[in-house]
């Protein structure tokens, strides 16, 4: 006999040094419900530490307001430009650090896996991701690309979580809860 699926509120994060997408979905079994999305914008003229502070503060506010039970973030991919890769990694760290006080499990997924989970192919274009996110969450208005990517991260995690739940296995986290 199958147990009742566990309800999860998932915060997806698409990190960026200028625009960080955040998106929240509720997941019960294979049912998804849209909750929230936003694009956290930083001014390119601001000092880089100020941009990181902006990401940290705004992600922390989202966590406080929406109380997610799971967090999923896109892995950093290799850039040809080392400076861009370092800045992206620091933006990702700022977003993740904003979640630590809430002691919520953080999971990471490669961009290719996220696209495959949402669109069906790992090399999908941003427009395809935006379209499928809107379709899967039954959104009437288009979602900005970075916020759509964050919602895609949350959808990917919901799918992975449901598969793991059905198989009665655990999925790995970046940082485990202290319990």
Residue 139 belongs to domain with CATH number? 3.30.420.10
Decide if 2 is inside a domain.
Answer: no
Q: Encode 132-151 in three state secondary structure.
A: HHHHHCCCCCCCCHHHHHHH
- Would residue 175 count as lying in a domain? no
146 has catalytic annotation: yes
Strands (E) in the chain, as ranges, are 7-14, 19-28, 31-41, 70-74, 106-109
The answer to whether position 174 is within a domain reads: no
Task: Judge whether 47 lies within some domain.
Answer: yes
What burial letters (b/e) apply to 66-83, b meaning 16+ CB within 10 Å? eebbbbbbbebeeeeeee
Q: What angle do CA 23, 163, 64 make, to 5 degrees?
A: 30
- 149 inside domain: yes
- Told to judge if 74 belongs to the known catalytic residues of this protein, a careful annotator would answer yes
The Cβ of residue 146 has, within 10 Å, a number of other Cβ atoms equal to 24
* pLDDT (average), residues 43-55: 95
Average pLDDT over all residues of the chain:
87
30 catalytic? Reply is: no
- Domain range enclosing 138: 7-167
Instruction: Please identify which of the residues 26, 38, 108, 146 carries the catalytic annotation.
Output: 146
Residue 141 lies in a domain: yes
Taking only the tens place, the pLDDT of each residue in 60-119 is 999 999 999 999 999 877 667 788 888 999 999 999 999 998 999 899 999 999 999 999
Position 172 in a domain: no
Q: pLDDT tens, 34-44? A: 999 999 999 99
> For residue 10, which of 125, 153, 145, 124 has the smallest C-alpha distance?
153
Q: For residue 1, is it within any domain? A: no
Active-site residue, selected from the candidate residues 38, 74, 108, 149: 74
How many domains are contained in the chain?
1
């Amino acid at each position: 006999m199958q147990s009742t699926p566990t309800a999860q509120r998932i915060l997806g994060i698409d990190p960026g040094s200028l625009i960080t997408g955040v998106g929240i979905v509720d997941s019960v079994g294979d049912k998804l419900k849209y909750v929230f999305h936003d694009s956290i914008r930083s001014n390119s003229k601001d000092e880089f530490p100020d941009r990181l502070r902006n990401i940290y503060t705004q992600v922390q506010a989202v966590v406080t307001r929406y109380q997610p039970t799971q967090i999923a973030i896109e892995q950093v991919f290799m850039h040809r430009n080392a400076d861009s890769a370092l800045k992206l990694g620091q933006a990702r760290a700022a977003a993740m650090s904003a979640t630590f006080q809430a002691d919520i499990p953080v999971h990471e997924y490669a961009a290719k896996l996220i696209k495959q989970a949402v669109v069906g192919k790992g090399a999908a274009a941003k427009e395809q991701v935006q379209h499928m996110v809107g379709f899967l969450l039954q959104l009437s208005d288009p979602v900005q690309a970075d916020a759509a990517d964050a919602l895609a991260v949350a959808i990917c995690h919901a799918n992975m979580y449901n598969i793991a739940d059905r198989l009665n296995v655990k999925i790995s986290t970046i940082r485990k809860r202290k319990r």
